[in-house]
Amino acid sequence: MKTVIIKYNAGNIRSLQFALERLGVNGIVTDDHEEIRSADKVIFPGVGEASTAMQYLKERNLDKVIADLKQPVLGICLGMQLLCRYSEENDTPCIGVFDVDVKKFQSPVENLLKIPQIGWNNIANLHSVLFEHVPENSYMYFVHSYYAALGADTVAITNYVINYSASLQKDNFYAVQFHPEKSAEAGARIIQNFLNI
Amino acid sequence: MLTKRIIPCLDIKDGRTVKGINFENIRDAGDPVELGALYAAQGADELVFLDITATNERRKTLAELVTDIARHINIPFTVGGGISSVADVSVLLQSGADKISVNTSAFRNPELIDQLSREFGSQCIVLAIDTRFEDGDWYVYLNGGRVKTDIKAFDWAKEAVNRGAGEILLTSMNNDGTKKGFALDITGQLAQQLNVPVIASGGAGNMEHFQEVFEVAQADAALAASIFHYKEIEIPALKTFLYNNGVNIRF
């Protein structure tokens, strides 16, 4: 099985590579279109800012390559947000696989809500193969200031003042807002479930 | 709901953990990777590795250690100690650290925080502050608590957040080592008036102290070292205690 991690200007992929390694899988880091198209599994990671990341992807036509993939794709964190329709982060049109928008957390009262959300939060209403053997309300590690709203593709919900999409799924596209590679055993289970698809 | 975090801190010198550590159930308690993995398995929410080595070889050794930690540990971790440039941070993040912490270097050169947050994002920039209460207020101390400044901890924390620090790790020198509890007043002031998470450090002696710093001061996380290393408090028991007392933790 060939597992590819898309290389672009967003993120720290070392942890993801190591998480795959702990599951006995070698993640190939590449931005080569053919390498990506020929993979069995594609992971689209990301920590960073939406507009710069989208611009980088567009310049290399990677946005089209990603949108046309037919094998299972897993978006993580910014990777998930970029698979949505649009992000409020610097007014950025995104790849548009998922029919939802990405918005910034708003504190209802000043300083009530710390932004970014940093830490462990629980995921609920789990309904995707990604969450097989993952109990309801399992805790995952989140670091983000923007969130994907709820929509038809939502397959897990988290609450941070409001309910939002912790995970999205549509056809062969899977995505999680949290970092499964940093979410202890439960996170490793999710990565394994993705690899098993 | 976002949980409160429990963070063991490991001091590292020449790639080894320091402070006498008495774990019988691991082969080598001086091995930061093995000790970190044990804490992760016990339910620690994050780890902090503080490098106290003072040699020129430090950076290379530290980067190798960070890679080794990232390879084996499946929870987030922060690396601090002697970091003073964008290049230092770049190496550590590329080696697999999730966050880095800066202290004296950022105070001496506050622009560093702006540079780091622009380059890598606020979410991975932790500002560590050592503070002591004297003459009616909490003042910033530098160089591991050896150098006094006339700047108040709250003012410096606020400036650092405006410059892009994503978290504050606040150590009260008055409380550190006393085992009489965290400094609730200054921790509370920062936790409630800044819009970034505050990690309380210094003074933990029993489980009630953790409950207090979460409930009274509203700290977002609590850090401790020797009480965990000497097994005066074990993380599973601490988490059970907090859970049973209604504190929202990952359990």
CA distance A146 to chain B (A): 13
Instruction: Kindly give, in sequence order, each residue whose CB lies less than 8 Å from that of residue B176, ignoring residues fewer than 6 positions away.
Output: B201, B202, B203
Name the residue facing B2 among A22, A117, A184 (closest C-beta).
Answer: A117
Please tell me which residue, B104 or B14, carries the higher pLDDT value: B104
pLDDT of residue B94 exceeding 50, the answer is yes
For residue B20, name the pLDDT band (cuts at 50, 70, 90): very low
d(C-alpha B87, C-alpha B183), whole Å: 34
CA angle B43, B223, A15 (to 5 degrees): 55
Q: Are A77 and A165 in contact (CB under 8 A)?
A: no
Verify whether the Cβ–Cβ distance B74 to A181 is below 8 Å. yes
User: Comparing A165-174, B79-88, B104-113, which segment has the lowest mean pLDDT?
Assistant: B79-88
Cα-Cα-Cα-Cα torsion A131, B76, A113, A100, nearest 10 degrees, comes to -40
Domain boundaries, chain B: 5-244
Q: What is the pLDDT of residue B28?
A: 65
d(C-alpha B153, C-alpha B133), whole Å: 10
Q: At what angle do helices B111-120 and B153-163 cross, to 10 degrees?
A: 40
Instruction: Kindly give, in sequence order, each residue whose CB lies less than 8 Å from that of residue A87, ignoring residues fewer than 6 positions away.
Output: A50, A51, A81, A94, A101, A102, A146
The answer to whether the Cα torsion of A129, B42, A118, B76 is positive or negative is: negative
How do residues A61-81 score in pLDDT, each as one tens digit?
A: 999 999 999 999 999 999 999
Return the percentage of chain B with pLDDT > 70, whole number: 93
How do residues A73-121 score in pLDDT, each as one tens digit?
A: 999 999 999 999 999 999 999 999 999 999 999 988 776 789 889 999 9
pLDDT of residue B32 exceeding 50, the answer is yes
B229 interfaces chain A, CB cutoff of 8 Å = no
d(C-alpha A10, C-alpha B124), whole Å: 14
- All domains of chain A, ordered by start, with CATH? 3-196 (3.40.50.880)
Verify whether the Cβ–Cβ distance B3 to A19 is below 8 Å. no
d(C-alpha B10, C-alpha A189), whole Å: 28
DSSP B218-243: --SEEEESHHHHTTSS-HHHHHHHHH
Which class is domain B5-244? alpha beta
pLDDT of residue B206 exceeding 80, the answer is yes
Over residues A5-15, mean pLDDT = 84
How do residues B39-56 score in pLDDT, each as one tens digit?
A: 999 999 999 999 987 555
Tokens of B180: 């009489």
Mutation to test the A interface, candidates B6, B74, B220, most A Cβ within 10 Å:
B74
Residues of B in contact with A20 (CB under 8 A): none
Q: What is the pLDDT of residue A95?
A: 98
Q: What is the pLDDT of residue B5?
A: 98
